[in-house]
């Protein structure tokens, strides 16, 4: 009956992480989550939930990377954001009491805690710092969404691709050899930028010619971050 190789992590970790919303919970509240939550593991390609689903809880990512995307009219994915350890997903649907407006799929094998909706609602009702923290989170994401809308509407694909690479660097970091710490297919990159796969390929190899990046399959090595920033028109 031993289904998991890994021990179920306690949420104490999440609750201590700076940046995680759980840091405003009391000891008792963390214990309650630990008691009520369900631990789950998923492999690359697996789906946590689908657009349109009624959601019965939200997820806190413990390990791995998840992409959150929306399926457009013709079936093309638009990646909205990524979730990495410490991030929560699906809270939007729970709180707005709407069905999921996005789907979530695993990019890198992951471990998550699934926490029932009632817990989230209860915490919002009883712990006002936590509610405030969630509001901050939602409002912050809203600000990012606004920026993204403006970018997609106004920038060229070239600018957007450069910008997305920068954002990925900031979110996931580089290893010792300056390789981006998240590996995406060209199609996935295209689905963030909002363009065709072939366009990403062509632009990436342009960036390569211009000595901005080095490509090794899905691994992207950043050679000239400043140069990319300049192309992306990120500042001013």
Partner DNA sequence: CGGTACGTTGAGTCATATCAACCATAGTGG
Partner DNA sequence: CCACTATGGTTGATATGACTCAACGTACCG
Q: Which residues pair with 222 in a beta bridge?
A: 213
Regarding 186 and contact with DNA (CB under 7 A), the answer is yes
> To the nearest whole angstrom, how small is the minimum distance from the Cβ of residue 213 to DNA?
12
Regarding 96 and contact with DNA (CB under 7 A), the answer is no
Choose the contact partner of 8 out of its own copies, DNA, none; CB within 5 to 8 A by kind.
none
Regarding 52 and contact with its own copies (CB under 8 A), the answer is no
> To the nearest whole angstrom, how small is the minimum distance from the Cβ of residue 125 to its own copies?
5
List the one residue from 78, 178, 181, 197 that touches its own copies (CB under 8 A): 78
> To the nearest whole angstrom, how small is the minimum distance from the Cβ of residue 227 to DNA?
17
* Interaction residues for its own copies, span 140-179 (CB under 8 A): 140-143, 145-155
* Interaction residues for its own copies, span 188-217 (CB under 8 A): 194
Regarding 150 and contact with DNA (CB under 7 A), the answer is no
Phi, psi angle pair for 41, to nearest 5°: -125, 140
Measured CA distances, 6 to 2, 10, 146 (Å): 10, 12, 39
> Which region, judged by CB under 7 A, interacts with DNA, from 82-90, 101-109, 128-136, 190-198?
190-198
Burial bucket for residue 138 (CB in 10 Å: 0-12, 13-18, 19+):
middle
> To the nearest whole angstrom, how small is the minimum distance from the Cβ of residue 1 to its own copies?
39
Q: What is the CA radius of gyration of the chain?
A: 19
Tell me the two tokens of residue 140: 């912050």
Cite the DSSP H helix spans in 17-116.
Answer: 27-36, 91-96
Rounded Cα gap, residues 21 and 70, in angstroms: 24
């Amino acid at each position: 009956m031993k289904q998991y190789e890994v021990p179920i992590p306690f949420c104490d970790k999440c609750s201590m992480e700076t940046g995680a919303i759980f840091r405003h919970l009391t000891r008792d509240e963390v214990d309650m989550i630990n008691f009520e939550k369900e631990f789950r593991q998923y492999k690359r390609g697996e789906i946590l939930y689908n657009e349109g689903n009624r959601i019965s809880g939200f997820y806190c990512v413990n390990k791995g990377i998840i992409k959150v995307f929306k399926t457009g009219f013709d079936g093309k994915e638009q990646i909205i954001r990524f979730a990495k350890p410490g991030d929560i997903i699906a809270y939007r649907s729970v709180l707005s009491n709407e069905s999921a407006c996005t789907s979530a799929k695993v990019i890198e094998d992951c471990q998550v805690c699934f926490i029932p909706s009632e817990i989230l609602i209860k915490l919002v009702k009883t712990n006002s710092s936590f509610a405030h923290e969630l509001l901050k989170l939602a409002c912050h994401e809203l600000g990012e969404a606004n920026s993204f809308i403006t970018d997609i509407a106004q920038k060229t694909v070239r600018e957007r691709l450069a910008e997305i690479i920068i954002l990925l660097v900031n979110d996931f970091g580089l290893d010792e050899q300056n390789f981006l710490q998240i590996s995406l297919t060209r199609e996935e990159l295209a689905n963030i930028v909002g363009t065709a796969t072939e366009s990403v390929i062509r632009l990436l190899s342009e960036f390569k010619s211009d000595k901005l990046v080095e490509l090794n399959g899905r691994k992207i090595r950043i050679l000239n971050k400043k140069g990319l920033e300049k192309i992306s028109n990120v500042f001013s």
